[in-house]
Structure 1
Amino acid sequence: MKKFDVKYYRCSNCEFIQTEEPYWLEESYTSAITSLDIGLIGRNLKYQPIVEVLIKMFFKTDKKYVDYGGGYGMFVRMMRDKGFNFFRQDTYCENIFAKDFDVSSYNSTDSDSFELLTAFEVFEHLVNPIEELEKMLSYSSNIFFSTTLYPNNQDLLKWWYLIPETGQHVSLYSNKTLQYIAKKFDLHLYSVNIYDHLLTKKKLSWTAYSMIYKERFRIFFNKYKKSPESLLQADFNKISGISM
């Protein structure tokens, strides 16, 4: 934040990197989403078609889903428009696009969990990742998330993803860190690049999983397996009180 000198520590066992106790967070989160996050819209546009095919290939399309740390609710709205019953969870950010679809509005029971949890650009913000993962797993045993793994071949203090200007990226991961997390919670880890990762109880085909990142395959697959009916009209009726 251009005002604090902060120490970073790396675990010699799992290679997890974390700042010292982040005493500056209250100040850094005066705006939950910083002005430097100019990729927010592009990120939602990128992940909507990927998650759509991910669900149709490996999960149940008629279940409920949750976007953890869902920010303004844009991703939830986009997925609901595609027919997927998404809800938003976020403690810090105003819900603009999915106001009526926060997790708090969904009456769940211990046995009625969500089929899939998404968490885009959340893990690097976590002060206590293990504790937060336990919360995520209380929602779903399937977690699809994005966080950029740090490189081993450059000075990390010059790495763009550190973003010290915002003071919000306090936890950084390597593949070894994610493997440690997967083992701790008895989950399978699937990472086909340094950005996107899936933790799940399911054992998937690596080849099939990697296909969700190929646009031509997604187009072909969507012709073969249609998405559920859009929830846009039903949501409008619910919010407006109009029955049709």
Structure 2
Amino acid sequence: MNAPAVAHPCPVCGAATVIHDVVDFNKSCEEARRYFLPLSGRAVYYHRCPACAFTLAPELCGWSDQEFQQHIYNQRYIDIDPDYVSKRPLANADFLQRLFGDGKAAIRHLDYGGGSGLLSQTLRLHGWDSSSYDPFPRNGQRLDELGRFNLISAFEVFEHVPDPAELMQNITALMADECVVIFSTLLSDGHIEPNRRLTWWYAAPRNGHISLFSKQSLIVLAERHGLQFGSFNNVTHCLFNRLPPWATKLTGA
């Protein structure tokens, strides 16, 4: 991989991005647990937007589905994200159950980017109307056949997408007139800054983390798609058009 030679507009706000730093392709999130893959010798350049602080890896964002499957989402993916199989979906299902379980009779839920569907399967055991959709790898499931939902979850999805605008178009097309979206992605604030090397563990091309969001970039993304934005913490966030009655607790009402 070589440094992208052309300027890349920010896919969130449209400003011109600048090259921020370069890391080895095998940099993974498991380095936070002291597990290191051998260096691959393949350079991945990350660009940062000076306006909204969104950070992306432009060359990987241009990959085909086949390239992602060959180099990232292959049989060795479990080595650098062991929690995705069951630990994370079970924990996220428990989070949704605790947050909205008392209103489940009025909820039609979609887990966007749901992988094997374990999160939805778990909620259905608790009496939820829950479905799962995963846009990658692409399959016969069509967005326009899913209908609309008043609760959408997207855990560990945003950092994997090549085009945040396309993701938001997909999500807003699935939203009912009253809908809340609960999603997770770790904020880059305090971790990615000008004139500072990219040592943050979450900036991990081997995990497919090619879109890294600041809080400001998420605010801009929400505004551009006519949505409100809020955060529970620096990992878990929400988007909404109008809050359903069972979700007004998010505002303290």
Q: If the length of structure 2 is used for normalisation, what is the TM-score?
A: 0.68
The counterpart of 2:117, out of the listed 66, 69, 73, is 73
Distance 1:128 1:199 in 2: 18
> Hey, what does 1:177 align to over in structure 2?
217
> Hey, what does 1:196 align to over in structure 2?
236
The counterpart of 1:113, out of the listed 131, 148, 171, is 148
The one-letter code matched in structure 1 to 2:200 is W
How far residue 77 of structure 1 moved from its aligned partner, in angstroms, is 0.7
CA-to-aligned-CA distance 1:25-55 (integer Å, 9 cap, x gap): 3422234953221223332232223212433
Structure 1 alignment gaps of length 5 or more? 96-101, 212-244
How far residue 157 of structure 1 moved from its aligned partner, in angstroms, is 2.1
The one-letter code matched in structure 2 to 1:11 is C
Correspondence 1:162 to 2:180: no
Aligned 1:76-87 pairs, distance under 5 A: 76-87=120-131
The one-letter code matched in structure 1 to 2:49 is C
> Hey, what does 1:89 align to over in structure 2?
133
> Hey, what does 1:4 align to over in structure 2?
42
Distance 2:180 2:77 in 1: 25
CA-to-aligned-CA distance 1:144-203 (integer Å, 9 cap, x gap): 111111142575622111223x25110000100111011111211110211101000136
Structure 2 alignment gaps of length 5 or more? 1-25, 27-39
CA-to-aligned-CA distance 1:41-84 (integer Å, 9 cap, x gap): 33223222321243356x66334211111111110111111111
Correspondence 1:13 to 2:51: yes
The one-letter code matched in structure 2 to 1:91 is P
The one-letter code matched in structure 2 to 1:21 is E
Q: Is the 8 A contact 2:104 2:128 kept in 1?
A: no
Name the % identity: 28
Q: Is the 8 A contact 1:118 1:145 kept in 2?
A: yes
The one-letter code matched in structure 2 to 1:86 is S
> Hey, what does 1:124 align to over in structure 2?
159
Q: How many residues align?
A: 200
Distance 1:82 1:123 in 2: 27
The counterpart of 1:139, out of the listed 160, 174, 179, is 174
Distance 1:3 1:28, change over 3 A: farther
Q: Is the 8 A contact 2:107 2:150 kept in 1?
A: yes
Distance 2:144 2:45 in 1: 41
SS, match of residue 238 in structure 2: strand
Correspondence 1:30 to 2:70: no
The one-letter code matched in structure 2 to 1:35 is D
Q: Is the 8 A contact 1:25 1:167 kept in 2?
A: no
Q: Is the 8 A contact 2:80 2:207 kept in 1?
A: no
Q: Is the 8 A contact 2:81 2:207 kept in 1?
A: no
- RMSD of aligned C-alpha atoms? 3.3
The one-letter code matched in structure 2 to 1:119 is A
